[in-house]
């Protein structure tokens, strides 16, 4: 945070101006809200809808919110959602086909028409996950047009994490808790307001609409202390490059032990911000006159995901869990140049039996980098 940077300060009582500025730039505002006992992203029309004073305790298989006498709106780590549902839709129609009077099949594209959206409260781990999803959906040989349309209309207002959960380990993966890139605007929250900076021209345009004041030395000192404390996380992965360690332990006895606990429910893959497995199916009425091609989220923990021509390759939970872990932390390095985990800890919190991926990696890979 140098003296010539573009930081400014937004007083807390002026936070409504941020929503007004985003709306003036043509964005629908999405932000965190407390609903159904969890932090979720939903339409945000008023800053009073933010989870003010909410602090969330997260442990393996446990997520519990508490209301405190605090003015802060972002004093929590994350909820079950990340950015994934806003870009990679859980279920969508990719195309339709109709048979005309001559019997000819006519294919019709069904591109989405997404609104311009500003998502407020994005965490560093989710920005890292978004970069991975961009790499998969936009920079492959066959870019995904539905994802691209939603991505083009997205503006991201990140907030540096000040209260990581006990399940977080983004510091050890190198993806948090402080956002380094990928945002349009970045906030650091203090009791009296927010230090704000722009990362893009779009962010600068929004910033120009705000009534900001200079950042004081006191603000900078408080934020530096806050960021240092956020790095003190309880959990960590045993290394950032575990490919060789994992593939040299494919017959480790731990795979049987963890399979005895795993329910193969797929919760971990649903809440994971980087998982992109999906299935596709044709929905055709009985008259044979039309068909709809649908894509929906799937999981490598389902039997159908490894079903090929009459054979389910991974029939047991042991093989499915091993596939997930070795792909996520191993062969992702070959595909994308890094691990597929950003340390958000959602898979630990939302696993119904509390399987801790950092513990499994420690046992299977040991404590040293591969």
Tens-binned pLDDT, residue by residue, of the chain (370 aa): 444 578 999 999 999 999 999 999 999 999 999 999 999 999 999 999 999 999 999 999 999 999 999 999 999 999 999 999 999 999 999 999 999 999 999 999 999 999 999 999 999 999 999 999 999 999 989 999 999 999 999 999 999 999 999 999 999 999 999 999 999 999 999 999 999 999 999 999 999 999 999 999 999 999 999 999 999 999 999 999 999 999 999 999 999 999 999 999 999 999 999 999 999 999 999 988 999 999 999 999 999 999 998 999 999 999 999 999 999 999 999 999 999 999 999 999 999 999 999 999 999 998 544 3
Is the bond preceding residue 57 a cis peptide, omega within 30 degrees? Answer: no
Whole-angstrom Cα distance, residue 51 to residue 205? 27
SS3 134: helix
Whole-angstrom Cα distance, residue 256 to residue 259? 5
What is residue 166's predicted lDDT score, i.e. its pLDDT? 97
Burial class (CB in 10 A: 0-12, 13-18, 19+), 285: exposed
- 46: CB partners within 8 A, 6+ apart: 16, 19
What is residue 244's predicted lDDT score, i.e. its pLDDT? 96
Whether 96 and 292 have beta carbons less than 8 Å apart is answered as yes
Whole-angstrom Cα distance, residue 218 to residue 188? 13
SS3 273: coil
Whole-angstrom Cα distance, residue 30 to residue 19? 10
What is residue 370's predicted lDDT score, i.e. its pLDDT? 36
Whole-angstrom Cα distance, residue 252 to residue 239? 18
pTM, two decimal places: 0.94
What are the angstrom distances between the C-alpha of 333 and each of 13, 114, 127, 182, 242?
45, 32, 18, 21, 9
Of 288, 76, 95, the C-alpha closest to 161 is 76
What is residue 368's predicted lDDT score, i.e. its pLDDT? 44
């Amino acid at each position: 945070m140098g003296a010539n940077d573009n930081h400014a300060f937004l007083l807390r009582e002026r936070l409504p101006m941020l929503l007004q500025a985003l709306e003036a730039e043509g964005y629908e505002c999405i932000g965190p809200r407390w609903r159904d006992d969890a932090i979720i992203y939903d339409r945000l029309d008023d800053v009073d809808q933010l989870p003010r004073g909410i602090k969330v305790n997260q442990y393996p298989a446990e997520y519990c919110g508490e209301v405190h006498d605090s003015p802060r709106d972002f004093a929590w780590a994350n909820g079950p959602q990340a950015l994934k549902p806003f870009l990679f839709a859980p279920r969508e129609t990719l195309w339709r086909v109709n048979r005309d009077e001559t019997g000819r099949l006519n294919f019709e594209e069904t591109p989405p028409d997404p609104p311009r959206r500003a998502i407020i409260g994005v965490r560093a781990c989710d920005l890292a996950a978004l970069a991975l999803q961009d790499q998969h959906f936009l920079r492959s040989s066959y870019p995904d047009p539905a994802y691209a349309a939603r991505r083009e209309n997205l503006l991201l207002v990140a907030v540096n994490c000040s209260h990581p959960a006990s399940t977080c380990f983004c510091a050890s993966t190198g993806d948090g808790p402080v956002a380094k890139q990928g945002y349009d605007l970045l906030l650091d929250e203090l009791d009296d307001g927010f230090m704000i900076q722009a990362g893009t021209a779009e962010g600068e345009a929004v910033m120009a609409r705000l009534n900001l004041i200079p950042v004081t030395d006191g603000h900078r000192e408080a934020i530096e202390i806050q960021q240092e404390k956020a790095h003190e996380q309880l959990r960590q992965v045993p290394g950032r490059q575990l490919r060789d360690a994992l593939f040299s332990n494919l017959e480790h006895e731990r795979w049987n032990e963890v399979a005895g606990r795993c329910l193969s429910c797929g919760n971990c893959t649903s809440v994971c911000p980087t998982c992109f497995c999906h299935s596709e199916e044709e929905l055709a009425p009985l008259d044979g006159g039309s068909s709809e091609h649908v894509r929906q989220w799937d999981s490598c923990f389902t039997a159908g995901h490894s079903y090929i021509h009459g054979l389910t390759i991974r029939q047991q939970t042991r093989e499915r869990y091993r596939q997930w872990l070795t792909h996520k932390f191993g062969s992702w390095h070959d595909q994308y140049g890094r691990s597929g985990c950003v340390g958000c800890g959602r898979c630990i919190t939302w696993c119904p039996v509390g399987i801790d991926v950092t513990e499994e990696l420690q046992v299977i890979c040991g404590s040293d980098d591969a």
